[in-house]
Every structure is written in C-alpha cells, then in structure tokens.
Amino acid sequence: MEIIFKIIGVGLVTCIAAMMLKPVRSDFAMLVTVVGGVIILVMILSQLSSAINMIKLVASKTGVNSSLLSIIFKIIGIGYLTEFSASMCADAGSAGLGDKVLLGGKIVILVMSLPIVTNILSIVMELLPT
C-alpha cells in the first residue's frame, strides 16, 4: 500500500517541478517529466514481479497451457508500454503521434491474441454436441 504513496509523491513532485520549469526552460521541463515517468515505471516494475509469480502459481494449479500464459503476459506488457509511450508523446505535445502509437499497440495485441481466441473456440466446439 505504501508504494502508491511513493508513486503519487514522485508524480506530484515531477508535475510541480515541470510546471515551475516550463516558463523558464521548457526543454528541461520535458526532461523532468520524462525522468519522473521513468522513475515511476521502475517503481511499478518492482511490484510487477510478485503479481507475475502469483499468476504463474494459479496457472500451474489450474493446468493452463504455459504458452498461452506467456502470450497473455506479452499482451499485458505491450498494452502498458504503448499506453506509457502514448502518454509521453502527449506530454511532449504530440497527441496525434500518441494516438498512432496506441493504434499500433492495439493491432499488435489483436494479432497476438489470435492463438488464445482459436484455443477458446476449439474448446467451445468440443463442448458443443455434434
């Protein structure tokens, strides 16, 4: 629970510092924003390992195919990275580029999710009476 307070603190300090620097040196303000975002990302990644371990434990107990689990982790990672990148583009004043990054991420996620969809459809077809 305390990690969220650290994340909020870094976010607020970064935001205030960027707002104070923007009238004086806008290039430094953007740099402060990027560094603050990277610090928050590193803080989040340290918490992510425990969640991944818990998901792996549940998957091993339920018998979920490990290749499907790997695809799910990749899809989640792509979603977070594209959202982070799009936000950074928007912060830099290029919201249009951020939208294109999001679209690219969504298309990659769609393509990567096809094996999961086909697996689910084959399970449903097996359950249906012929």
The verdict on pTM exceeding 0.85 is no
pLDDT of amino acid 44 = 86
Distance (Å, whole) CA 16 – CA 57:
41
pLDDT of amino acid 130 = 67
Distance (Å, whole) CA 52 – CA 60:
12
* Start-end of H helices in the chain: 2-21, 26-62, 66-91, 95-127
pLDDT of amino acid 100 = 94
Q: How far is CA 54 from CA 35, 41, 47, 57, in A?
A: 30, 20, 12, 5
One pLDDT digit (tens) per residue for the chain, 130 residues: 788 899 999 999 999 999 999 899 888 888 998 899 889 988 888 788 888 888 888 888 887 777 888 888 899 989 989 998 898 888 778 889 999 999 999 999 999 999 889 988 988 888 888 6
Distance (Å, whole) CA 8 – CA 109:
29
